[in-house]
Amino acid sequence: MIFSYDLLINAIVSGILIGGFYAAVSCGITISFGILDIVNIAHPGFIILGSYVVYIVNAATGLDPILTAIVMTPAFYVLGVGMYQVYYVSFEKRGQESLRGLAFFFGVLFITEVSLILYFGVDYRYVDAPYIGPTLHFGEIGLPLRMLVPCLVSLLLIAVLQLILTRTFIGRAIMAVSQDQLALRLMAVDPIRIKRIAFGISIATASLAGAFLIIIQPVEPSVGREYIGRIFAICVLGGMGSLPGTIIAAMLIGIVESLTSTFYGPSWAPAVSFGFLLLTLAVRPAGLLGR
Amino acid sequence: MNGAGAKTDLLQVENLSKRFGGFVALDNISLSVAPGERLGLIGPNGSGKSTLVNCICGTLRNEQGSVRFDGQTLDGLEAHQRTHRGLSRSFQLPRPFVSLSLIDNIRIPLLYTVTARGTHHAAGVIEDRCADLLREVGLEAKARQLPRDLTQVEMRKLELARAMAAEPKLLIADEAMAGLTHSEVEEILALLVRLNEQGVTIILIEHIMRAVMSFSRRLVVLVSGKKIADGQPDDVMRDPEVERAYLG
Amino acid sequence: MRTPVFLLIWFAIAGAIFGAAMAFDNDYVFFAGYVIMQYIVLSTAWNILGGYCGYVNFGSAAFFALGAYSTVAIYKYTTGGDEPSTFSMPIPFLMLIGGAVSAAVGFGMGYLTLRLRGAFFAIATLALAVVLETLVVNWDYVGGSRGAYIIRPEDIWPIGNYIRYLFLMMMLLAVAAMTIARLIERSRLGYGFATIRDDELAAEASGVPTLRLKLIATTISGGLMGMAGAPFPYYIAFLQPDSTFGLDYAVNSIAMPLIGGTTSWVGPLIGTLLLGSLQQIATVTISSAVNLLIVGILLVFFVVVAPNGIVGLFHTYFQRKPEEFVGRRRVDADAPGTVP
């Protein structure tokens, strides 16, 4: 283990940058699990789907991945709405969401992953964009643009989400639906419709997260599996329904992973987020900023 | 009377407080119940009655205050341990075991609570006791059916029967009579009186005033998480503060 | 039916199956059969915690792999390397050791996470699988990421080659697993599990020590999965972490009971036979990726359309009153497992 301040600083910076990306990946879960209490383990599957969509468009037309993802957001939103409808009718209404709901999403994750394998094969795919490649340098600190750009856009995405949740009527209804459904009904707002919208938004974020992912690293269908634990770890650590908490938790995990990888080797990195998760669940399930 | 209670009290609640985030559900409640007593607990919806029951029975943890039962503290004990000690409750919204038949629902407290106290019954005895309890609430005909086949009213009766199956020293009946007809209310009241005569202390939480007044020997009123009255039913009902807060 | 009779019948069936397989004299039958028996154990074990108690375990692979890697560790210790040795620990012992290790880990993890809601437990089990995989990958003694080679011992008389012996052992384990599941179902423990599944709060209020029961379920479930994993290194001869810890084990051990039916020991058996055969056919005729697609689709289909699985469909179709899904017998309060 060679220790140098150079390495340390770069590891931390790298961790922050990837933390920003992790936040985008997890914000969907913050909404679906943190606020709506739906354990959507299929979320990474949708992210990978997003990556592949961006890949196809980029390979065919050279269109910028992030732009593509933004354009695709409505489609993912509709997908999310559809999924919630199935989930609601099959499970929530019948009160069986614990066992069967979990199994449902697990099945969906598998279907998504295997369908992608069957269609695209297991080769790694990547995209082309002007900011993939160059690196900004500030003294000894290197800021690869392929990580900086997704990080910045992620933070923007989360800021927009937070504005929606706190300033718009729909957003506040979404926050309310997790706390008091009866009050919503009394205000002539259908809680089910609100949850549908919220879940739709949650899946819509997967489109952008997918674009970020394939910008940062090459993607193949089973990459999603690494993220299952990460996103739930970040959501729980961040205090469940809190977007600011998500950012902090994401950065924290990003930094610890980066340090572990740099100084102990990349083969230990997967254990970091999952280890965090186990620790958090065992010690402080309310998370850092928990309610 | 403010609940300072005698040493021989069966249940002693002292300075119990419970908050949910910023919301104070229970504010410094003190209450005691003597063995064999029939206590009525009333209050508007949302006043904290069920929260109080949950804290006493261990389903929720109170931040402050303590609960003593039968001379021993209950603090820190899990709900099932409190049930083993002799506390039993029915839920305001019935919570039957949906995949078990009625008779199996009744069987659970017998298998897990009564045996935990060291009474070992043979299988046949358990079966008979379950049938007896169902008969007491008039559900013996549906013994082998599932809870989903019951009406709301029948579910409340099942709920009560299951609470009774734990052979408690103190039974808390949380709105067991909601939705019952006049004669059904009488039936349940008679059942509770019988239980009480057999030595079971009873706390009755109800909105049906006539039932509460006829049953209770003492009345406690909860409003917005505070206890505002505790005494003889007639005195309490004449208390102007009670009139204002609850009836007004 | 009393348990000894049940056991006898199934031993007879197992004997008949083994005899038929020996007569057929084709090793493929034993290879494929081993996998099916293994999954009967895994899905029955999963169902004890998942179907009976309602707590979903996504980490079946972790417990399975713990059993497998216990065997590898013992193998490395007794052979001192990659050479075949004259001594190889008998499978039943390996099963017991692998089972004990898994059971201990199951207990430990349960202790940390079972106080939380079922959803958190499920996520924690996912985390466990990855943490354990990372530990194994970094532990060179058992081969690390390179994998571990295990040399199968010579033929065992009078059975023949080692694979046939493994198949027999796994089949006996499957019979044991089903018997244990059935015993639990019909005992006081089974009632307790059902209350946890139906309404944990009400269960506590009725005096059921829910945490203790959940720990028991996790320990038994994890232990059985470890026992299923113990012979695996000998079966596969080359053990790699990424396939041993794969999510395939998780999805199969969840899909098989959910498709077969979660409320009784019969469900996992039916689900395994059905899904296992389908997968073998698909692998041989189409490809092994389609395999998992089938599992995923069937899982989603059954969970949405027929939540009580095939056993549930059977009950509905034959109009049997599903009066008691648990324990149709009288239960003597202080003797769990007694069947009059």
Q: Residue A82 burial (CB < 10 Å; 0-12/13-18/19+)? A: middle
pLDDT at position A137, please? 85
The CATH number of A5-283, from 3.30.70, 1.10.3470, 1.10.1060, 1.20.910, is: 1.10.3470
Per-residue pLDDT tens for A192-243? 899 999 999 999 999 999 999 999 999 999 888 888 888 888 988 888 888 9
Both tokens of A116, joined, read 């992608």
pLDDT at position C79, please? 73
Per-residue pLDDT tens for C213-270? 999 999 999 999 999 999 999 998 888 887 888 778 888 999 999 999 998 999 999 9
Element at C148 (helix H, strand E): strand C148-149
C192 to each of B215, C85, C211, C213, C338, how far by Cα in Å?
35, 47, 11, 7, 15
Q: Report the distance separating Cα B214 and Cα B59, nearest Å.
A: 30
**Is residue C263 assigned to a domain?**
no
Which B residues, 98 through 127, put their C-beta within 8 Å of a C-beta on chain C? Answer: 98-101, 104, 107-116, 120-124, 126-127
- C296·A107 Cβ contact <8 A: yes
Domain boundaries, chain A: 5-283
Element at C149 (helix H, strand E): strand C148-149
Both tokens of B24, joined, read 């104070």
- A100·C131 Cβ contact <8 A: no
**Is residue C323 assigned to a domain?**
no
A102 contacts chain C (CB < 8 A): yes
Q: Report the distance separating Cα B186 and Cα B171, nearest Å.
A: 18
Report the predicted TM-score, pTM, of the whole model to 2 decimal places. Answer: 0.89
Please state, rounded to an integer, the average pLDDT across all residues of chain C: 85
C263 and C178 Cβ atoms separated by less than 8 Å: no
Residues of A in contact with C304 (CB under 8 A): 86, 90, 104
Structural domains of chain B ordered from first start: 11-96+169-247 (3.40.50.300)
Question: Which of A37, A100, A229 has its CB closest to that of C126?
Answer: A229
How would residue A288 be classed by pLDDT, with cut points 50, 70 and 90?
Answer: low
Residue with tokens 């506390």: B87
CA angle at B122 for the pair B121 and B128, rounded to the nearest 5°? 85
pLDDT at position C339, please? 33
Q: Report the distance separating Cα A147 and Cα B226, nearest Å.
A: 57
Both tokens of B120, joined, read 């070992």
Burial A227-241 (b: 16+ CB within 10 A, else e): bbbbbbbbbbbbbbb
C335 and C200 Cβ atoms separated by less than 8 Å: no
pLDDT at C86 over 70: no
Distance in Å, alpha carbon of C196 to nearest chain B alpha carbon: 9
Residues of C in contact with A94 (CB under 8 A): 307
Both tokens of C234, joined, read 């000998």
Per-residue pLDDT tens for A141-165? 888 888 999 999 999 999 999 999 9
Residue with tokens 């999603």: A224
> How far is Cα of residue A22 from the mean position of the Cα atoms in its chain?
6
Q: Which residue of chain C is at minimal alpha-carbon distance from A225? A: C247
The full DSSP string for chain B is --S---TT-SEEEEEEEEEETTEEEEEEEEEEE-TT-EEEEE--TTSSHHHHHHHHHTSS--SEEEEEETTEE-TT--HHHHHHHTEEEE-SS----TTS-HHHHHHHHIIIIIGGGT----HHHHHHHHHHHHHHTT-GGGTTS-GGGS-HHHHHHHHHHHHHHT--SEEEEESTTTT--HHHHHHHHHHHHHHHHTT-EEEEE-S-HHHHHHH-SEEEEEETTEEEEEE-HHHHHH-HHHIIIII-
C218 φ/ψ angles, rounded to the nearest 5 degrees: -65, -40
Question: Which of C198, C206, C324 has its CB closest to that of B112?
Answer: C206
Q: H helices within A31-134, ranges in order?
A: 43-61, 65-87, 102-120
- C195·B108 Cβ contact <8 A: yes
B204 to each of A227, B38, C23, C42, C331, how far by Cα in Å?
52, 7, 72, 49, 33
How would residue B106 be classed by pLDDT, with cut points 50, 70 and 90?
Answer: very high
Distance in Å, alpha carbon of B128 to nearest chain C alpha carbon: 11
pLDDT at A23 over 60: yes
Which B residues, 174 through 233, put their C-beta within 8 Å of a C-beta on chain C? Answer: none
How would residue B247 be classed by pLDDT, with cut points 50, 70 and 90?
Answer: low
Distance in Å, alpha carbon of B94 to nearest chain C alpha carbon: 9
How would residue A2 be classed by pLDDT, with cut points 50, 70 and 90?
Answer: low
Q: Report the distance separating Cα C227 and Cα C2, nearest Å.
A: 25
**Is residue C182 assigned to a domain?**
yes
Q: Are strands B87-90 and B170-174 parallel, antiparallel or unpaired?
A: parallel
Secondary structure of C223-240 as H, E, C letters:
HHHHHHHCCHHHHHCEEC
Question: Which of B89, B116, B121 has its CB closest to that of C205?
Answer: B89
pLDDT at B102 over 90: yes
Question: Which of C194, C199, C204 has its CB closest to that of B79?
Answer: C204
Both tokens of C199, joined, read 């309404």
Burial C150-180 (b: 16+ CB within 10 A, else e): bebbeeeeeeeebbbbbbbbbbbbbbbbbbb
Residues of B in contact with C332 (CB under 8 A): 122-123
Q: Kindly state the greatest CA–CA separation across chain A.
A: 63
C240 and C147 Cβ atoms separated by less than 8 Å: yes
How would residue B78 be classed by pLDDT, with cut points 50, 70 and 90?
Answer: very high
Both tokens of C125, joined, read 């089990």
B148 contacts chain C (CB < 8 A): no
Specify the long-range contacts of residues B146-154, CB closer than 8 Å, at least 24 apart.
Answer: B146/B98, B146/B99, B146/B100, B146/B101, B146/B102, B146/C322, B146/C323, B147/B96, B147/B97, B147/B98, B147/B100, B147/B102, B147/B105, B148/B98, B150/B96, B150/B102, B152/B94, B152/B179, B153/B179, B153/B180, B153/B184
**Is residue C281 assigned to a domain?**
no
- Tell me which residue of C135, C156, C130, C158 sits closest to C145, measured CA to CA: C135
Both tokens of A99, joined, read 């066992």
pLDDT at B100 over 50: yes
- Tell me which residue of A55, A83, A85, A81 sits closest to A68, measured CA to CA: A55
Specify the long-range contacts of residues C191-194, CB closer than 8 Å, at least 24 apart.
Answer: C191/B100, C191/B104, C191/B107, C191/B108, C191/B111, C191/C326, C191/C327, C191/C331, C192/B108, C192/B111, C192/B112, C193/C48, C193/C52, C193/C53, C193/C217, C193/C326, C194/B97, C194/B99, C194/B100, C194/C52, C194/C325, C194/C326
- A90·C303 Cβ contact <8 A: yes
Q: How many residues are listed for chain C in this entry?
A: 340
- B123·C331 Cβ contact <8 A: yes
CA angle at C266 for the pair C265 and C271, rounded to the nearest 5°? 110
Residue with tokens 């990421």: C145
pLDDT at C80 over 70: no
Per-residue pLDDT tens for C293-311? 888 999 999 999 888 889 8
- Tell me which residue of C266, C214, C236, C284 sits closest to C55, measured CA to CA: C214
Please state, rounded to an integer, the average pLDDT across all residues of chain B: 89
Range of the domain at C130: 3-247
- A102·C133 Cβ contact <8 A: no
Q: Which residue of chain C is at minimal alpha-carbon distance from A286? A: C116
How would residue A265 be classed by pLDDT, with cut points 50, 70 and 90?
Answer: confident
How would residue A286 be classed by pLDDT, with cut points 50, 70 and 90?
Answer: low
Domain count along chain C: 1
pLDDT at position A211, please? 94
> How far is Cα of residue B196 from the mean position of the Cα atoms in its chain?
13
Question: Which of C192, C195, C323 has its CB closest to that of B144?
Answer: C323
In DSSP terms, C149 is beta-bridged to C238
Question: What was the ipTM of the complex prediction?
Answer: 0.90
pLDDT at position C121, please? 85
Letter for the amino acid at B243? Answer: E
- B111·C331 Cβ contact <8 A: yes
Task: Return the partners of chain C (3 or more C-beta pairs < 8 Å).
Answer: A, B
pLDDT at C332 over 70: no
- A281·C123 Cβ contact <8 A: yes
Per-residue pLDDT tens for B21-39? 788 889 999 999 999 999 9
- A285·C116 Cβ contact <8 A: yes
Both tokens of A34, joined, read 């943190």
How would residue A190 be classed by pLDDT, with cut points 50, 70 and 90?
Answer: confident
pLDDT at A3 over 70: no
**Is residue C164 assigned to a domain?**
yes
Number of CB atoms found within 10 A of residue C331's CB: 26
pLDDT at position B7, please? 66
Distance in Å, alpha carbon of C206 to nearest chain B alpha carbon: 5
Q: Report the distance separating Cα C251 and Cα C248, nearest Å.
A: 5
C134 and A271 Cβ atoms separated by less than 8 Å: yes
Q: Report the distance separating Cα C254 and Cα C268, nearest Å.
A: 9
